[in-house]
Amino acid sequence: MAVGKSVNRIDAVAKVTGRAEYTEDLYRPGMLAAKYFRSNIAHGRVKTIDVEKAKNLKGVEAVFTYEDVPKNKFATAGHPFSLDPGHKDVADRLILTRDIRFMGDEIAIVVAQDEIVASRALQLIEVSYEEYTPLIRPDDILKKDARQIHKGSSNVVGEHRYAIGTDVDEALKAADYVLEGEFETAMVQHCHIENHISYAYMDDLDRIIIISSTQIPHIARRIVGEALNMPLSRIRVIKPFIGGGFGNKQDVVLEPMVAFLTLKLNGRAVQINMSREECMAGTRNRHPFYIKVKTGVMKDGTMVARSMDAISITGAYASHGHAIAAAGGSKQSSLYPRTATRFHARTLYANVPVAGAMRAYGSPQIIYALECATEDAARKIGMDPVEFRLKNIARQGDINLLSGKEILSCGLAECLIKGRAFMDWDKKKKTYEKYKTGPIRRGLGVACLSYASGTYPVCVEIAGARIALNQDGTVHVMVGATEIGQGSDTVVAQMVAQTLGFSYEQVRVVQAQDTDVSPFDTGAYASRQAYVVSNAVFRAATDLKKKILDHAGLMTGKSGSSLDIVNNKIVVAHTNDWVMDMKTLAIDSYYHKERGGQLTAEVSHKTTTNAPVFGCTFVDVEVDIPLCKIKINTIINVHDSGVILNPVQAGGQVHGGVFMGIGAALSEELLIDPDSGHIYNNNLLDYKFPTFMDIPRIHHDFVETFEPTSGYGNKSLGEPPVITPPPAIRNAILDATGVCINVLPMSPHNLFALFKKNGLMDSKGGAHV
Amino acid sequence: MAVGKSVNRIDAVAKVTGRAEYTEDLYRPGMLAAKYFRSNIAHGRVKTIDVEKAKNLKGVEAVFTYEDVPKNKFATAGHPFSLDPGHKDVADRLILTRDIRFMGDEIAIVVAQDEIVASRALQLIEVSYEEYTPLIRPDDILKKDARQIHKGSSNVVGEHRYAIGTDVDEALKAADYVLEGEFETAMVQHCHIENHISYAYMDDLDRIIIISSTQIPHIARRIVGEALNMPLSRIRVIKPFIGGGFGNKQDVVLEPMVAFLTLKLNGRAVQINMSREECMAGTRNRHPFYIKVKTGVMKDGTMVARSMDAISITGAYASHGHAIAAAGGSKQSSLYPRTATRFHARTLYANVPVAGAMRAYGSPQIIYALECATEDAARKIGMDPVEFRLKNIARQGDINLLSGKEILSCGLAECLIKGRAFMDWDKKKKTYEKYKTGPIRRGLGVACLSYASGTYPVCVEIAGARIALNQDGTVHVMVGATEIGQGSDTVVAQMVAQTLGFSYEQVRVVQAQDTDVSPFDTGAYASRQAYVVSNAVFRAATDLKKKILDHAGLMTGKSGSSLDIVNNKIVVAHTNDWVMDMKTLAIDSYYHKERGGQLTAEVSHKTTTNAPVFGCTFVDVEVDIPLCKIKINTIINVHDSGVILNPVQAGGQVHGGVFMGIGAALSEELLIDPDSGHIYNNNLLDYKFPTFMDIPRIHHDFVETFEPTSGYGNKSLGEPPVITPPPAIRNAILDATGVCINVLPMSPHNLFALFKKNGLMDSKGGAHV
C-alpha cells in the first residue's frame, strides 16, 4: 500500500543534488534580458516619455513603451476560463500602461544584451507625469467624487452578499449577547524563494514557447493568447521545477510580456528575471481586509448568528478580483454550519501594489476575524473556548447551507480534542492563572478553520492523467497537475502505485508540465490538486490495470478478470499465486508481433464535488509587556484532511503553513505610505519575514477521516495550515493580557499602541507591571 | 481532403528561418566534449596503453579505456526487441575495445572542457599493438584457418537460403537459355548533412537523459539499457530535429557512450560531436556485396528460374547482421513472383568499417544484380527489355511465394508503360541505333524494383498516436514516428486532418520525440512509418472524432452519430447544415463545469501486413568512350507507392533517392586498401559524392494504386527510389556500348578497365573509335 506511507519525495535526490532544473538553469545562448521601467509615483498619467537615449545605449536591442503594446485588455488571474460571462475575470490590464495606478506600475521595458545594460538604460529614460492624489484609505477610495482608478469603472471591483439559515437580524435580536468587533489585516507577501522568471522564444514564425516559473501553465497559455490576441495552439508553456509560488505564480505576471517581446524581436529568446524588490512590490500580495463582525450568542454557548462586513483591497489592478473576498467569506458556513450567517463584502481598487492569490485565498483574513469574534463570544459567556467551539463547529452530516451540500467527512471535534490533550489545556489554563499580571504573562489560544478542496462549483475542476507501462515493467505517469514544491508528483506516484498494485519505486512521474503534451489541468491552486487529480489518477490507473490484466489473459489463456496485480506481479486473484512478472508482460505487450501494443490509459476527469477540510491551532504564548514581544512556547496544528497520503510530506505542508502564519501574525507587513503610496520595505531585510531563529518548534497532528468523493479518501491540505495561527495567537495574547489585538501583524509597534490604549503601558510607554 | 495535397511541410518555416533546433543547437552550459581515441591499425590487439599524460593535460576531465567500461556485450542494430531468441541481433560490441577490428576502432575516450583540449589529449595517448593480418577479401575471410575476427565466433555472421516455386535446378535445366553473371557493389556512405551527435546528462542520481540525432529514440533507449545494464525507465532519449540519417542513425552509435560518460562524471553533460571523417569511417556504411546470379529464360520471354548467391560484408561488427542480405534477397519474390527462385546469402565479418542500415537495406545491391541479369536475359532472346519485364513482373493478385501473401495492389506494369512513354522509348531506340559506334555513344536503360512497407513479419510493427483537441479548436498530435527530414510529421498532420474533417492548418504535430512522453514507435527505418503509423493515426483520429461528435451531441441534444465534421465545423451528417464551430465545442468540453473534459484519443497499433511497392527507372545515357565518362541525358523514376499522401514531398523523396542512386552508380566508393585496411577517402573531398553540378534534372511520376491494408491507401516510398538508377544506368551503358559493367561504381576507373577488356580501348588506353 503506497498511499499513506511517508515515501521519499520523488524529486528529493534531484533537488538535494542540485540537478533539478529551474527556469534560470535553462539558459539559452544569446538570450536577451528585459527590465521594466516602473513609475515612481503611485497615481497619475504619463505626460511625456523619451526613450531615445536608452535605445541608443550600446547593447540595448529595443525599448517598448505603452504606445507599442496591444490595446486589448486582459485579466491576469489564474482562473480557468468561465463559460458564464458574469463570472469572467476583470480585464483591466495592458502589457504596459500610460495610466499609473501604483508606485512601480509598468510603463516601458528595455531589452538588452544583459541585465546590467538593461538597468543602465532604464536610467536614461525620461518621463514626466500628471500626478493625482493616491487613493489608499478605504474611505478615500469610496468617496462619491473619488477619481476612478480605472477610468470608466467603479473603484468597487466587486461586491456580493449572502445570508443563510434563519434571519440574521432576528437571531441577533433574540441572542443573549451580541458582540461586535472590527478587524484589520496587513498586506503581506508570499516571499517564495525563486522570484518570478520567464523567458520566451519562437521555434518558427508562428509559435511562441514560454518557459516560466508558473503554477498554472495551461492557464498561462490561455491568458497569453488573450493578451496577444493569438490562437492558443500557437503558444506553448513549459513549467520546469519551481522554487515556490504560494499563489503568487497563480497570476500571469510575466508571460504575456516575454511572449510579446519575442514576437517583436523576431523570435529571439528574451528573459525577465525579477529582482526581489520587483517581485515583492511588482507582482502580487495578500489583500489587506477591513472586517466588521457581529456575533449573537446564547448563554448556553450556542452561537446563533453572525454578520460580517468585509472590505478587501485589491490594489491597482483587479487580478483575482472579488473572488478572494468571496472565497474567504464562504468558509463560515462549513465551519459553523448551524449558525445563521450573513456576509457582505466589497473589493476595492487602491493605488497600492496589486493583490492576488496567496495561500488560503481570503480565508486567513476572514477566519482571523471570525475566530477572534468566536473567542470573544466564548469569553463573554464565560465558557471555555474549546468547549464553545465543540458546541458550534461542523459535524459529519451537517449541511453546508451555502453550498447546500452535506458534509460527508468531518473530524474537527477530534482535532480539537487532540489539540487540547496535546496542550494539556485544562491543567495549563489553571497553572497560567498566576501569569496574568507582571511584565511576563502567559496565555493559551485556539482557533478553528474550514477550507475547501478546489473551486467547484465556482470554477470548473478538471484534471488529466496518462499512464504508460514501460518495457521494464515500470510506469511513467503524465499529469497536468503542477509540482511547485508541494510534493504533488510524489503523491500522484503513490496513488498510481496503490491502484496498480505496484511499488512506489516502480512509478515515475514525468516532471515539468508542457502544454503541448501534458494532460490538461488548471494547475496548482485552491489546494485542489491532490483532491481533484485523485479521481483522474484512480480512473486512469484502474483502466491501465484492466489492460494489463487483459493482456496477461491473452498470454495465459485465463480471463483477465481472474487475475490481479500484487507487488508488481501478475497473480491469480484472491489466491495470489504467481503468474508472471510485470517485465515479462510488458515485453510481450510491446514486442509480440500480433497481440498487444504499448499499454497506456488516459483520463480527463471533471470533479463536481468540493470536500471541506477542517483544522485548528493551539498555542501557548508568553507576552513580554515592556518589550511588546510575543514568545511562542508551544504551537500545534491538528488537521482533518481526510486520508493523509504521505505523512511526512503532509507534515511539511503544515510546518510551512504554520511558519507563514506566525509571520503574518507577528511581524510581516508590506508598509505603504498612506499618503504617497511609497513602499517602504520591498526587500527581505526590511520586510520582517521570520527566519528559523524566530520560529519555535512546530507540532502537528492529523485526524484521518475518509472522504468518499475523493479517489483515495484524501482532502486538501496545502493552504489550510496558514489560516489559524494568527487568530490562535491573538486569542492567547488576549488570554494572557486581556487585550484584544484586532489588527495584524501583532508586531511590537501595534502591540505598544494597543497595550497603551488598554492601560498596560503608561503614557511614556513604560509598562504597568 | 488533406491527404493527396501538396501542403507545405509542417516544419518548412522552422527550417528555412533557422529556428528548427538540432542537437548541436541545444548546448548546455558547462557541457564537456568527448573524443574517441581510435586504432591506426585494422586488425590486432592493444598490448599496452598509457593515458596518464592525456589525463594530466589541463582541461581534461577524464580518460577511459577498454578497461573501464562494462563488460556486457550488446548489439547496436536499430531493430525492435525480438521475443524469438533466434532472431536477436548479434551482441558483439563493448563500448570500448581492446581487440582492434578495423582502422578506427574505439580504444579509449577523452573527456575535456572542449574539443580542442580533447583533440590535444588524444595525441598524448601512447599505445602499442600486437598486429594481425587484416582480413578484407572474402576468400581470405572464408579460409578455414582464418583468424576469427571475433574470437569464439565464426567469421560468417549469418547465412540463410530459401527456394520458392518449382525446383530451380529442374527449371534451369528446362530453360531455353541459362545466363550467369557476377556482380560486385561498393562500400558507400550515407553522407547525411548532420554528423552523428549526442549528449547526455543526469537529472538526479538515477536517470540519464540523452539528446541525440537518432532515427530510433525508443530503440536507442532500450539498447543503452542493455549496454549499461540499466532498467530502461531510467533512460530518457530525446530526438530534436535531424539533419538526415538514411539508416546510419538507425544504429545506436554514440548513445551508450554518452550515457556511460555522464554516469561516470557525476551527471555532468558530455557531448560527442563527430567530425565528418569519424562519421564516414567510424559509424556505418552500405555493405559491399558479391553476387552470382543464374537466370533461366525461355525464347518466348518467360523468366522461369533464378538462382542467387550473395556474400555481404558487414565489416568489423555485426550491427544489423545478416538482416540486410536477407531483406535484400527477399525482393525478387514480389518483383518476379512467377519465377522459381533460390537464394543463398552469407554475411561476413571483415577488418573494414562497419556496415549497417542504409536506404533500401540490401535491395540496391541485390536488385542491381537482379536487374542487370534480367537485362542480359532479355537481350539474350532479343526481346525488348521493357516488354520482357512486362511479361514477368508482378501483377495485382499474384502471390508472393516467400511471404505467402497476395499482392493486393500493384501498378508496376503501368509504371513501366508510363516511363516508356515519357522516354519515347521505341522511337529513341531506333534513333540511337546510329550512336552505337564512335567516341560518343548513346543507349537506353530500364530497371524495376519491388520493396516492402515495413518489416513485418520479421519484426514487430508498432506505432502510436495521441491526439488532443485544443481550446481553439485545433488539435495537437503526438506520434512516436520520427521526423528525420523525410516529412513524416507533415503526412501525419494530413492524415489526422483528413479523418477528423479538419483543415491541415488546424493540425499541429508535436515535434521531436521524447521517450518519456511520446507514444511508442520503433522509429524511422524500413520505409515503414507512413504505412505503419497510418492505421494508428486513422484509429486515433476516428476515436477522437467520435468523442467530439458525442460531446456535440451532449451540447445539442442530438445524437453524436447524426453529426459530422466538415471543414472544422460540426454539421448535420449528410445535409452539412452548420451546428457549431469547433472552438465553441472545444471551449465547452474544457470548461463546462459538469460535462466533457479534455478530448483526447490514443491508439497503439500493431501492423500485421507488409504491402509491397513497385517502381522503375528509365534512363538515357551518353557514354564518352575516350574519357570513360557517363552523361545522363534523361532519367525518370516512376513509382507505385499506393496513394501519394503529398505529391511534392513524395517527389522530394524520389529526387533524393535518384540523386543518391546516381552517386552509387557512377562515383561513390569508400576506398579501403585491401592489404592494410587503410581508408583512403573518409572525407567529402576525396569521397566522390555527387554535387548538384554532377546530377541531371531528375524526373518522376507516380502510378497511384490503393493499398487496402493501409490507413489511407498509402505504401512505402522513402527508400525505393535509390534502388534502380544503378542497374538502369548499367543497362543503358550496355545498350550504348555492348559492355556489361557488373561492378559498382561505374566510375571512369572501372569503366576504363572494362572497356579495355572488351576491346573498346587499345592497350595504351586509347579509345578505338
The predicted-structure confidence for B93-138, as pLDDT tens digits, reads as follows 999 999 999 999 999 999 999 999 999 999 999 999 999 999 999 9
Residue A763 has pLDDT above 90, yes or no: no
Interface of B with A in 197-236 (CB under 8 A): 202-206, 222, 225, 231-233
- Adjacency order of strands within the sheet including A235-239: A60-65, A106-112, A32-38, A270-273, A197-202, A208-212, A235-239, A513-514
End-to-end CA distance of chain B: 58
Extract the C-alpha cell encoding B472: 481553439
| Residue in chain A nearest B480 by alpha carbon | A598
End-to-end CA distance of chain A: 58
A to B CB pairs, distance under 8 Å: 170
Residue A635 has pLDDT above 90, yes or no: yes
Residue A591 with chain B: CB contacts under 8 Å: 80-83, 460
Q: Report which residue type is found at A705.
A: T
Residue A639: its pLDDT value, please? 98
CA distance A203 to chain B (A): 5
| Residue in chain A nearest B204 by alpha carbon | A14
Residue B86 CB contacts under 8 Å (≥ 6 apart), including other chains: none
Residue B465 with chain A: CB contacts under 8 Å: none
Q: Which of A521, A227, A232, A513 is nearest to B508 (CA)?
A: A232
Beta strands at B629-640 and B507-509: parallel, antiparallel or unpaired:
unpaired
CA angle at A504 for the pair A499 and A506, rounded to the nearest 5°: 95
Residue B769: its pLDDT value, please? 61
Angle of helix B582-591 versus helix B529-556 axis, rounded to 10? 80
Q: Residues of B242-263 as b/e, b for ≥16 C-beta within 10 angstroms?
A: bbbbbbbbbbbbbbbbbbbbbb
What are the phi and psi torsion angles at B686 (to 5°)?
Answer: -95, -25
How far, in Å, CA of B749 to CA of B631, rounded? 15
Task: Give me the residue from A27, A233, A470 closest to B472, CB to CB.
Answer: A233
Instruction: Tell me: cis bond preceding B745? Omega within 30 of 0 counts.
Output: yes
| CB atoms A225 and B600 under 8 Å | no
> Looking at the complex, does the CB of residue A29 fall below 8 Å from at least one CB of chain B?
yes
Angle of helix A385-392 versus helix A412-423 axis, rounded to 10? 170
Residue B507 with chain A: CB contacts under 8 Å: none
Q: What is the mean pLDDT of residues A672-700?
A: 95
Extract the C-alpha cell encoding B184: 560486385
How far, in Å, CA of B89 to CA of B78, rounded? 9
Q: What is the 3-state secondary structure (H, E, C) of A330-366?
A: CCHHHHCCCCEEEEEEEEEECCCCCECCCCCCCHHHH
What Cα–Cα distance (Å) separates residue B735 from each residue in A28, A175, B728, B730, B732?
A: 59, 115, 10, 9, 5
How far, in Å, CA of B652 to CA of A142, rounded? 70
Helix (H, G, I), strand (E, B) or coil at B169: helix
Interface of B with A in 41-80 (CB under 8 A): 80
B424-434: pLDDT as tens digits: 999 999 999 99
Residue B142: its pLDDT value, please? 97
Task: Give me the residue from A590, A592, A606 closest to B597, CB to CB.
Answer: A606
Residue A497 with chain B: CB contacts under 8 Å: none
Residue A585 with chain B: CB contacts under 8 Å: none
> Looking at the complex, does the CB of residue B460 fall below 8 Å from at least one CB of chain A?
yes
Q: Which helix (H) or strand (E) is B615 found in, with range?
A: strand B613-624
Query: What percent of chain B clears pLDDT 70, i.e. is strictly above it?
Result: 100
CA distance A185 to chain B (A): 34
Residue B233 with chain A: CB contacts under 8 Å: 470, 472, 474, 476, 508
Residue A8 has pLDDT above 80, yes or no: yes
Residue A267 with chain B: CB contacts under 8 Å: 17, 19
Extract the C-alpha cell encoding A94: 495592458
CA atoms within 13 A on the CB side of B88: 12
Q: Confirm if A348 and A314 have CB atoms less than 8 A apart.
A: yes
How far, in Å, CA of A393 to CA of A448, rounded? 9
Residue A765: its pLDDT value, please? 67
The one-character DSSP state at B709 is T
| CB atoms A604 and B602 under 8 Å | no
What are the phi and psi torsion angles at B234 (to 5°)?
Answer: -85, 0
Q: Confirm if B54 and B29 have CB atoms less than 8 A apart.
A: no
| CB atoms A597 and B20 under 8 Å | no
Residue A769: its pLDDT value, please? 61
Mean pLDDT (chain B, rounded): 97
Residue B601 has pLDDT above 90, yes or no: yes
Q: Confirm if A281 and A39 have CB atoms less than 8 A apart.
A: no
Q: What is the 3-state secondary structure (H, E, C) of A110-121?
A: EEECCHHHHHHH
Beta strands at B513-514 and B235-239: parallel, antiparallel or unpaired:
antiparallel
How far, in Å, CA of B761 to CA of B749, rounded? 13
B465-523: pLDDT as tens digits: 999 999 999 999 999 999 999 999 999 999 999 999 999 999 999 988 999 999 999 99
Task: Give me the residue from B206, B470, B604 closest to A597, CB to CB.
Answer: B604
> What are the start-end ranges of the H helices in A706-747?
725-737
| CB atoms B83 and A591 under 8 Å | yes
Residue A486 has pLDDT above 80, yes or no: yes
Beta strands at B106-112 and A177-184: parallel, antiparallel or unpaired:
unpaired
Residue B344 CB contacts under 8 Å (≥ 6 apart), including other chains: B159, B160, B161, B308, B309, B310
Residue B497: its pLDDT value, please? 98
How far, in Å, CA of B486 to CA of B588, rounded? 37
Interface of A with B in 534-593 (CB under 8 A): 587-588, 590-593
Distance of CA B738 to the CA centre of its chain: 33
What are the phi and psi torsion angles at B329 (to 5°)?
Answer: -70, -10
Task: Give me the residue from A81, A516, A595 closest to B591, CB to CB.
Answer: A81
How far, in Å, CA of A283 to CA of B461, rounded? 52
Q: Confirm if B332 and B306 have CB atoms less than 8 A apart.
A: yes
| CB atoms A204 and B19 under 8 Å | yes
| CB atoms A14 and B203 under 8 Å | yes
CA angle at B112 for the pair B111 and B118, rounded to the nearest 5°: 85
| Residue in chain B nearest A509 by alpha carbon | B516
Query: What percent of chain B clears pLDDT 90, i.e. is strictly above it?
Result: 97
Task: Give me the residue from B20, B602, B608 closest to A600, CB to CB.
Answer: B602
ipTM score above 0.85? yes
Residue B765 has pLDDT above 70, yes or no: no
| CB atoms B597 and A83 under 8 Å | no
Extract the C-alpha cell encoding B549: 461528435
| CB atoms A593 and B456 under 8 Å | yes
The residue of B590, B594, B610 whose CB has the most chain A CBs within 10 angstroms, and thus the best one to mutate to test that interface, is: B590
Residue B15 has pLDDT above 90, yes or no: yes
> Looking at the complex, does the CB of residue B519 fall below 8 Å from at least one CB of chain A?
yes
CA angle at B66 for the pair B65 and B72, rounded to the nearest 5°: 140
Extract the C-alpha cell encoding A285: 500580495
Task: Give me the residue from A80, A459, A602 closest to B600, CB to CB.
Answer: A602
The residue of B228, B516, B543, B589 whose CB has the most chain A CBs within 10 angstroms, and thus the best one to mutate to test that interface, is: B516
| CB atoms B204 and A593 under 8 Å | no
Residue B662: its pLDDT value, please? 98
| CB atoms B590 and A81 under 8 Å | yes
Identify the band that residue A762 occupies on the pLDDT scale cut at 50, 70 and 90.
confident
Number of DSSP helices (H) and strands (E) in chain B, helices first: 20, 29
Residue A503: its pLDDT value, please? 97
Residue A462 with chain B: CB contacts under 8 Å: 590, 597-598
Residue B662 CB contacts under 8 Å (≥ 6 apart), including other chains: B632, B635, B690, B694, B695, B725, B729
Extract the C-alpha cell encoding B724: 534502380
| Residue in chain A nearest B591 by alpha carbon | A460
Residue A735: its pLDDT value, please? 98
Q: What is the mean pLDDT of residues B570-586?
A: 97
How far, in Å, CA of A74 to CA of A82, rounded? 14
CA distance A476 to chain B (A): 7
What Cα–Cα distance (Å) separates residue B153 from each residue in A227, A267, A600, B39, B147?
A: 67, 56, 41, 22, 10
How far, in Å, CA of B691 to CA of B668, rounded? 12
**Which pTM was predicted?**
0.97
Residue B477 with chain A: CB contacts under 8 Å: none
CA distance B138 to chain A (A): 36
CA distance A507 to chain B (A): 9
> Looking at the complex, does the CB of residue A478 fall below 8 Å from at least one CB of chain B?
yes
| CB atoms A587 and B83 under 8 Å | yes
